[in-house]
Amino acid sequence: MSLKIAVLPGDGIGSEIVSEALKVLEVLNQKFDLNATWQEATIGGAAYDAEKDPYPASTQALVKDSDAVLLGAVGGPKWEALDKPLRPEAGLLRIREDLGLYANYRPTKVFDQLLEASTLKPEVVQGVDILVVRELVSGIYFGQPRGFEEYKGERSGFNTMRYCESEVRRIARKAFEAARLRSNKVCSVEKANVLEVSELWREIVTEVHQAEFSDVELSHMYVDNAAMQLIRNPKQFDVIVTGNLFGDILSDEASMLTGSIGMLPSASIGEEFAMYEPIHGSAPDIAGEDKANPLATILSVAMMLRFSLNRADLAEKVEQAVEHTLDAGVRTVDLADGQTPVACSAMGDAVCAALEKLA
């Protein structure tokens, strides 16, 4: 039976990085009998330009009829003047909510080949392997009420940060389950000293731990301290579980331990659907220049193989191919550090060549 993948290149460098990921899928089909098919659709600014909707009905239908979704990136200054519901980012929030993608897995692994690319000392980052489990469909990004109003005689904007008990329980379970497959440690990050929503978060995570996962080591940390500790001593972390806003910020911070945000994949998973994408944005400043780093998108394909397509064996092959490519000294401009960089397409070709050698 063929595996169906919905491919959403999106905006900016999205089409460039997704093209390289599709090259990898083609090699897996030809050399490893993956038997996957894919169909493209629009999302974000490209979807607005085509259909005046950043998440059109045609895309909704395609993603719900697929085994997995591969996304590039959305956004750009071209669409910033649109009303908020029509902006590219609204399409991204809507697809996450529509598919129920409440658990966002963002791994940060420092490759030995790229130790010098990090701005931190090699002894600080060598061996770092962190998984941020971010709640993705609630919290302040989705809370109501929100908007603008006059308050105390001047303009004001307001948002609501809200979590319900069930939302915290399900993301906590995902984090503890992930930790059992890793180093068996979870650090729950919040701001319980000043936020009621964080008090509830800490209480529920503790309850889930005591009732179902007492074999996993649990610690709690305020978000400001967690941000500092990620730079001071990142190797203390195994799995970090946190809310939507804090997870967005901390995972981007963690990405710089690797030397480039272009190295980090992600998986957004619900009960029925899953979507895979690099954590970086659409980088409109380099769009169309063949400069982007496609490795985060290629590594997102590896996560898709592992979590949605039940081909962990092929996920390992893709990850090995990336390692071999880095061993060979192939670097895009974000990783070059004085070396001669290769183009986005050349990096994709190099990974495909390494993958073919593993066949």
Q: State the catalytic residues.
A: 141, 191, 224, 248, 252
Query: In angstroms, rounded to a whole number, what is the distance separating the alpha carbons of residues 242 and 135?
Result: 6
Query: In angstroms, rounded to a whole number, what is the distance separating the alpha carbons of residues 156 and 214?
Result: 45
Query: In angstroms, rounded to a whole number, what is the distance separating the alpha carbons of residues 283 and 296?
Result: 14
Reference 127, options 143, 119, 115, 136; nearest CA is: 115
Q: Which two tokens stand for residue 137?
A: 């469909």
Reference 239, options 213, 203, 261; nearest CA is: 213
Please confirm whether the linkage preceding 265 is cis (ω < 30° from 0): no
Assign residue 83 a region (left: φ > 0; alpha: ψ between -120 and 50; beta: otherwise).
beta
Query: In angstroms, rounded to a whole number, what is the distance separating the alpha carbons of residues 342 and 293?
Result: 9
Reference 280, options 118, 116, 71, 135; nearest CA is: 71
Query: In angstroms, rounded to a whole number, what is the distance separating the alpha carbons of residues 307 and 101?
Result: 13
